[in-house]
Amino acid sequence: MKKWVPYLGAIVFFFSLGLRLIGIGWGLPNDLHNDSYHPDEPINLAVSRLIEPAHLNFVPGWYNYGTFFLTLSNLASGYVAAPEDNSPKSNADYDRACLLAGRIVSALAGAGTAWIVWALLKKRTHWLGALGGALAVGLAPAFVVHSRFDTVDVTATFLIAVSLFFALKLLPDKDGNGPPHYMRYVALSGGFAGLSAGTKYLGAIVILALFAAIFLARRPDWPRLLAIAAGSAFIAFVVSTPGVILDWQRFKDGFSYETGHAATGHGLVFVDTGPAAMYHIVSLAVGLGALTFILGAAALIYAGVKKKQWAFVLLAMAIPYFLVISASHVEFLRYTFPLYVPICIAFGWVVGQAHINRKNVVWVVIVAIIALGFEVRTDKQYAEWMAGEDPRDQAARAIKEVVTQRPNTVVGVTADPWYYTPPLYLDSAMPRPRWMREGLQKMQEATTPHVVYFTPDQKPDYVTFSSLQSWDLDRLQGAKDLTGPDQALVDQWKATSERLKNEYQNPVRFGGAEPPRFYREDLEYVHPYVYVWKRKDLP
């Protein structure tokens, strides 16, 4: 092995980390809005502040997710200076710094996942394949984008990768060498499975991969190893989310909310989108890149057919996980992230084996290089979007420029302002719990411009909305078998659209081209398409 090969893992890590730091300030509070454009971040920030490590208080009272990532985010924000006063600007600046600290935790976890895949593969194939697999996950466009958010998904995936790393150590490596310490690796794999569940509950499914590895190791003490696996996972889960014991009723309420949410859906977002399994397959192609997904998934299936033990371990997690998310009515792209790990491991394995047997399957390496090239191209686009000015801010600045010429300008919105609308006033992106208390008052107090709802009795000078609001309403025009409330929303939007066409000029669109064909809302967060309609009788 070349002397520099052992350093490739670190190189991939720092390269992946650097990529994630580009645009990591996207959507944070600025001179136009006091809240993040990511709808989950204000809630995560508020809950993380209820955790007080210095007072050994790890029970925030909110358990839609486990509390491990929220604790890490709290610890990271502990290095942020407190606000100078209680003014809105100081509080917004403080929130910005705390959110950025949590985002750095996610960025480290995303880059760390690439390093773990490298470390896992270098023991199972040629180093070129290990590099390919690490880059496949390190460059995965959706994974890179979400590594810039103060949210749980990327860290949960990193912990799954670490759990798989130790589970696969129970099997012989490419040279036929078995592990020197079975119990240590079982305990570590189980522990990281528990931490993943303590970050996002579905992470618990990775324990099935560890059980499969114990079975395949064919150890006479397998009952004890299974007990150690389950015990270490449970202990790690309780340590990372102690509310499961100390705050049982509220934990049960939060957990029940998540399972109920999965059963009832998420508004119109996933209505009439076809079978969830097919939707997730397309999401994997969108999030990883189509070539990366096809090559990795085919390699994983092929390795399973060829009875590769490592593939059985990965499939023991991947198949149940895919079935569970396919049974849910909430189908966000980010839910597929844990599947990136086995797919990219298989991607790297097939590249390594193709290099070893280069006379027969050199095309695999060529396809892999092209696949990584497409990932880089998509990463470049998202990095430019996230590092540049958001279309919502562009639209707001354009509207405010009009206000300087016509101070009494009135702008209509088609729904309650939130992250999906241009920031026409500082508190427009406030989270929903706060909106219920003071949102309407803040909206009515806005004067630059005045903001009203676009209703039949209002004819504002301008009307604005984004693709985050209109995509599903447009998509569902003419859909059959909608529920009564859903059909009412679609019909209302049809009337709104007709009125805009009749009474307003063709809109100015901020954000460039139309939304992509395979639209995924949690990728569209970072670059929605914002439309501003001007009344026809205005000069």
The DSSP string of 396-414 is: HHHHHHHHHHSTT-EEEES
Helix, strand, coil share of the chain (percent; to 5): 65, 5, 30
pLDDT of amino acid 6 = 83
Average pLDDT for consecutive 10-residue bins of the chain (539 residues)? 82 97 97 96 95 92 95 92 86 95 98 98 93 98 98 98 97 81 94 98 97 94 96 98 96 91 86 94 96 97 96 98 95 97 97 83 88 96 95 97 94 96 96 93 95 95 95 91 91 96 95 74 93 94
Which segments of 178-334 does DSSP mark as H helices, in order?
182-197, 207-217, 222-240, 243-246, 248-264, 276-288, 290-305, 309-326
Q: Cα dist. 221→163, 179, 186, 313, 358 in Å?
A: 21, 15, 12, 19, 41
Which pLDDT score is estimated for 259? 87
Question: For residue 471, what pLDDT is reported?
Answer: 92
Cβ contacts of 507 within 8 Å, gap of 6 or more: 500, 531, 532, 533, 534
Beta partners for residue 462, in sequence order? 411, 534
Cβ-contact 290, 370 below 8 angstroms:
no
Confidence at residue 269, expressed as pLDDT on a 0 to 100 scale:
92
Nearest CA among 124, 147, 135 for reference residue 296: 135
Q: What is the pLDDT of residue 403?
A: 94
Distance CA 515, CA 376 (A): 20
Strand partners, 464: 413, 532
Q: For strand 450-453 and strand 462-466, is the pairing parallel, antiparallel, or unpaired?
A: unpaired
Whole-angstrom distance, CA of residue 409 vs CA of residue 450: 6
Sign of CA dihedral 35, 37, 42, 48: negative
At 57, is the secondary structure helix, strand, or coil? Answer: strand
Residue 175 phi/psi, 5° resolution? Answer: -95, 5
Angle subtended by helix axes 182-197 and 207-217, to nearest 10: 160
